[in-house]
Amino acid sequence: MEVQTEKVWEFANRYQLPRALVVNELDRERSSFERSVESIQSVFGRNAVPIEWPIGEEKGFTGVIDLLTMKAYSYTPGGNGKGQAGDIPPGVKTAAEAARDKLVEMIAEGNDAFMEEFFDKGTLAPEHIVEGLSEAVATQRLFPILCSSATNLIGTDLILNFAADFLPSGVARGTAKGKTPDGKEVERKISDTEPVSLFVFKTAADAFAGRVSYFKVMSGVLVNDANLVNYNRSGSERLAHISLLQGKTATAVPEFHAGDIGTVAKLKDTLTGDTLGDKASPILYPAVALPEPSISFAIAPNSRGDEDRLGNALHKILEEDLSLRFYRDPQTKEFLLGGAGQQHVEVIVSKLKKRYNVDVTLKAPKVPYRETITGKADVQGRHKKQTGGHGQYGDCKIKMEPLPRGGSFEFVNDIFGGAIPKNYIPAVEKGIIDSAARGYLAGYPVVDFRVILYDGSYHDVDSSEMAFKIAGSLAFKKAMEQARPVLLEPIMNVEVYAPDQYSGDLIGDMNGRRGRIQGMDTRGNTQVVKAQVPMSEMLTYSSNLTSMTQGRGSFAMEFSHYDVVPAHIAEKIVAAAKAARAGEEVEEEG
């Protein structure tokens, strides 16, 4: 069973959606429908029940038995996909009859009248089987299992017939919840008789049609060339040439009814998550909850031409995919592209190349380390320079002490008696702030410290704002020598979601990443591991988690706080930063 099947099942549970399962590729070597059913039932329970049975196995898979009608449908591999009805082959009749008996029993379990009929007759009337299955699917009591080979078009027509006959339409959900523009909760009946409203759930950029909006009609009847109001953006939109999309083929239609899905091109302002409708009956449907990006990469254009095209290309891609984030880190000065995983970001880079001819390079983002102090200092910063004419003179005495984490920077003016004129005091502060931004240990900003300016001296002629700014910078550097500076690293709150059999591996891996386990939780078959982990240890976590859990794991991460880097790791970071600065100086000299 595919990993994505489990994830989509969780989504269906969350939104209370009826569902069915299709076992595909039954013509593949070593495929087995019975083993697949056992695997499905071990994960999703006995309510997942076959309503079809295959004829043949592996390369001999040539048809499907409908257990509701007990008819066999044979196919020509690679043919037109239309099954020829006939009698059940003797070789599979016994297995098909046993499967039908189980199906009928499961249908009867949910209805007292059907149970009584089943006990009396040992089966159900054909019309009661259909009625009972429809009810069981709609109420999510049963989850039918079908079989097919999509590449050879075996069983595909029966899947479509099943969807039309048994899966409920959008109207069957009854009502849709939303809010009025003033925030009041309302419900709208999913019916043609209600005022028209539609929800835009996807946006795509087409080279010829421009922006294409995919929508679902939530209520009313949408006619071609309708003028609707975008409630989110308070603008009007004309929906010209509404179309029904089948694959990539758009077919123009005159109208859509409640529950229908369609597309329209070239809306002015409408984006994914917007609600459009009748001006007289406003309603805002809730936008899809999207996960925050779990991984970010630094992105850089390969040439000046790529740089010019990158902004426009990313703007269009961000309209299509709202789970992406593109932003500039103010500390590292890098542009970062964040997504759901490494593969997600790599697919976006591929789109940039193929669709917009933009070449970019991806690399791991720089970790925004910071520096701080753990001790106190009391120093003097004096700048004195005598040249022809006016000289330069600035003298200040400061005390430096640490602040609690998150305290940023405080400057206290404790000058009395005019030791430094008031107009020069801001220059001292500016010199300290500028020096703190350039860092002391490894070039990272210094934070969480207080400076108290308590004394100094000046010269009537030679003192200036620049001289006191330099004096403040010198005082800062001397104070850092005394105040026991350390490196700080960002610590992330991490939640990892995976089946419970992987929890031991996940905790061991977290400990190896210097993580601190904060707790564990269980949600169904999913184990949630909560931890605080340094950001530097999470840069490659996405691919490692996929490997550890065979793709069944996912994680969410957000910034928590800064904490001190262990000394042996800090030494390596400082050495690397000095080497990088030395390399930059050599390049500049060259």
CATH of the domain at 423: 3.30.230.10
CATH of the domain at 21: 3.40.50.300
Q: Is residue 581 part of a domain?
A: no
Contacting residues for 430 by C-beta, under 8 A, at least 6 apart: 469, 472
Q: What is the pLDDT of residue 331?
A: 72
Provide the b/e sequence for 6-39 (b: ≥16 CB within 10 Å).
beebeeeeeeeebbbbbbbebbeeebebeebbee
Give the pLDDT of the chain (590 residues) as one tens digit per residue: 666 787 788 889 888 899 999 999 998 888 899 999 998 998 888 999 999 999 999 899 999 999 999 999 999 887 888 999 999 999 899 999 999 999 999 999 888 888 988 888 888 899 999 999 999 999 999 999 999 999 999 999 999 999 999 998 888 888 999 998 888 999 999 999 999 999 999 998 877 778 899 999 999 999 999 999 999 988 999 999 999 988 878 899 999 999 999 999 989 889 999 999 998 999 999 988 777 776 788 888 888 888 888 888 888 888 888 888 888 877 777 888 888 777 788 899 998 998 888 898 888 888 889 999 999 999 999 999 877 667 899 999 999 999 998 888 999 999 888 889 999 999 999 999 999 998 999 888 999 999 999 999 999 888 899 999 999 999 999 999 999 999 999 999 998 988 888 888 999 999 999 999 999 988 766 788 999 999 899 888 888 888 898 888 888 888 888 999 999 999 999 998 888 777 655 555 54
Nearest Cα to Cα of residue 84 among 68, 70, 64 = 64
Nearest Cα to Cα of residue 563 among 400, 331, 370 = 370
Q: Is residue 582 part of a domain?
A: no
| Token pair for 17 | 């959606």
Three-state secondary structure call for residue 507: helix
Phi/psi of residue 89, nearest 5 degrees: -60, 140
Asked whether residue 207 falls in the same domain as residue 117, the answer is no
State which H helix or E strand residue 39 sits in.
helix 33-44
For residue 255, the enclosing domain spans 173-277
* Domain total of the chain: 5
Asked whether residue 139 falls in the same domain as residue 197, the answer is no
Return d(Cα 163, Cα 173) in angstroms, integer: 16
CATH of the domain at 246: 2.40.30.10
CA distances 386 to 390, 394, 456, Å, are: 7, 12, 19
Which DSSP category does 553 fall into? -
Of the residues 217, 244, 277, the one at which a domain ends: 277
CATH of the domain at 354: 3.30.70.870
CATH of the domain at 531: 3.30.70.240
Amino acid at 395: D
Asked whether residue 479 falls in the same domain as residue 496, the answer is no
Find the helix packing angle between 156-166 and 126-138, rounded to 10°: 80
Q: Which position has the token pair 């189980």? A: 102
Asked whether residue 209 falls in the same domain as residue 246, the answer is yes
Q: Is residue 590 part of a domain?
A: no
Asked whether residue 411 falls in the same domain as residue 556, the answer is no
Q: Is residue 584 part of a domain?
A: no
Amino acid at 461: V
For 528, counting Cβ atoms within 10 Å of its Cβ (0-12 exposed, 13-18 middle, 19+ buried), the class is: middle
Q: Is residue 196 part of a domain?
A: yes
Return d(Cα 284, Cα 262) in angstroms, integer: 19
Q: Is residue 217 part of a domain?
A: yes
State which H helix or E strand residue 213 sits in.
strand 210-219
Q: What is the pLDDT of residue 1?
A: 61
Of the residues 135, 168, 201, the one at which a domain ends: 168
Q: Is residue 583 part of a domain?
A: no
Nearest Cα to Cα of residue 271 among 224, 315, 226, 329 = 315
Return d(Cα 68, Cα 65) in angstroms, integer: 9
Asked whether residue 47 falls in the same domain as residue 90, the answer is yes
Provide the b/e sequence for 107-118 (b: ≥16 CB within 10 Å).
bbbbbeebeebb
Q: Is the pTM of this model over 0.75?
A: no
Asked whether residue 50 falls in the same domain as residue 196, the answer is no
Asked whether residue 43 falls in the same domain as residue 83, the answer is yes
| Token pair for 225 | 């060339």
Asked whether residue 545 falls in the same domain as residue 428, the answer is no
Asked whether residue 458 falls in the same domain as residue 541, the answer is no
Asked if 499 contacts 549 with a C-beta cutoff of 8 angstroms, the reply is: yes
Of the residues 431, 463, 483, the one at which a domain ends: 483
Asked if 50 contacts 67 with a C-beta cutoff of 8 angstroms, the reply is: yes
Asked whether residue 451 falls in the same domain as residue 493, the answer is no
| Token pair for 55 | 């004829």
Asked whether residue 448 falls in the same domain as residue 507, the answer is no
Q: What is the pLDDT of residue 105?
A: 92
Return d(Cα 54, Cα 65) in angstroms, integer: 6
> Does the CA dihedral 336-337-343-346 come out positive or negative?
negative
Three-state secondary structure call for residue 148: coil
Q: Is residue 388 part of a domain?
A: yes
Q: What is the pLDDT of residue 546?
A: 86
Q: What is the pLDDT of residue 587?
A: 53
Q: What is the pLDDT of residue 305?
A: 83
Nearest Cα to Cα of residue 299 among 356, 348, 370 = 348
